[in-house]
Amino acid sequence: MKQKGWKDLVPGSVILEGGSAARFKTGSWRAYRPVWKEENCIQCLFCWIYCPDMSVKVKDGKRGEFDYDYCKGCGICALECPGKKGNKAIVMEEEGT
């Protein structure tokens, strides 16, 4: 793709469309990956509330898989997860192992 020259730019670096950040897959920053253990999940949705992005997908009031395109692996969901009988429903695993 030909890169833009200085005469091709929008004044003030304004981005003239909505939602373009969706094209920026920030999940590539992740060093640790949250893994959902459905058997320990009580569907409290704390992970969905606490996620600073929108990487916990919920459908019909039920928690689904992580959106790994945007999850940066901050680990907040795993920390907040109450789990079931002392067993976490979210655990962090090192990427690439």
Partner 1 sequence: MAKVVAVTGNEAVANALRQVNPDVCGIYPITPQTDMMQRYASFISDGKVDTEAVLVESEHSSMSACIGASAAGGRVVTATSSQGLALMWEMLHIAAGDRLPIIMPVVNRALSAPLNIHGDHSDAMGARDTGWIQIWSENGQEAYDNTIQAFRIGEHMDIRLPVMVCMDGFIISHSIERMEYLDDPEVKNFVGPFKNLYPLLDLDKPKSYGPLILTDLYHEYKRAQHEVMLKTKDVVLEVAKDFEKLSGRKYGLFESYRLEDADIALVILNSAAGTSKDVIDEFRGKGIKAGLLKPRLFRPFPYEEVAEALKNTKAVCVMDRSDSFGGYGPLFMEISSALYQLKQKPALINKIYGLGGRDYLPSHAEEVLQELHEIAQGGKLKIIKEYIGVRE
Measured from the CB atom, the residue of 20 and 97 that comes closer to partner 1 is: 20
Residue range at the interface with partner 1 (CB under 8 A); choices 10-18, 42-50, 63-71, 76-84: 10-18
Could you tell me the smallest distance in angstroms from the CB atom of residue 53 to partner 1? 16
Residue 68 main-chain phi, psi, to 5 deg: -75, -5
23 lines the binding site for partner 1 (CB under 8 A)? no
Question: If DSSP states are collapsed to H, E and C, what string results for 47-79?
Answer: HHHHCCCCCEEEECCEEEEECCCCCCCCCHHHH
Residue range at the interface with partner 1 (CB under 8 A); choices 17-25, 26-34, 62-70, 80-88: 17-25
Distance, in Å, from the CA atom of 88 to the CA atom of 47, rounded to the nearest integer, reads 12
Contact set with partner 1 (CB under 8 A):
3-7, 9-20
